Amino acid sequence: MELPGELDFPRLAPEDKYRRAVPGYMKRLARLYQAMHERFGEAGLELIREVSREFGTAIGENAKKGGEIKGVAAVGRYLLKVFDMVSDDWEVREFTPERLVIGVRRCPYPFTEKRICRAHTCMEESLVAALDHTLEYQIGRSIPGGDAFCEHILCRRAPARG
């Protein structure tokens, strides 16, 4: 696109646009969540949970169109792709056929309240449930909870007690 000389500026490559824009969008999302919680209290958190669950389920259903995604390795690989879209500050801290622990040293959003973080991560919980109902997603350690890093845990669901 040609711009008049006075409006012309150097255009960024898509990768540079991503690196510059995404952190700002994530901070804005965190601030929107905070405002919803401040204004609406528990109802605001429930709205965040509801939207996050719907989004996670939709992502999971869409992902299954490409084939079945089951088990800790396959679902874990999908989760890692999701994490890699928003940050490169993650690591696999533990991996077995029954459990995956993803460590994150810096919250990309950055959440300051544990309750808001938990409401947001309903997306990952719903995504995992949509992909493989035998697995569950949990948060272990949490930066908003005062820990030095976050733990995102994917594991086999405990058998129901009869």
Q: Kindly state whether residue 31 falls inside one of the protein's structural domains.
A: yes
Assigned domain for 152 exists: yes
pLDDT for position 9 = 87
Find the CATH number of the domain harbouring 93. 3.30.1380.20
pLDDT for the residue 31: 96
Cβ neighbours around 74 below 10 Å, total:
15
Q: Is residue 7 part of a domain?
A: no
pLDDT under 50: residue ranges of the chain: none
Please report whether residue 5 resides in a domain.
no
Counting the structural domains of the chain, the total is 1
Domain housing 109: 13-156
The pLDDT tens digits of the residues spanning 2-48 come to: 889 899 888 899 889 888 888 899 999 999 999 999 999 999 999 99
Q: What is the pTM of this model?
A: 0.87
Specify if 8 maps to a domain. no
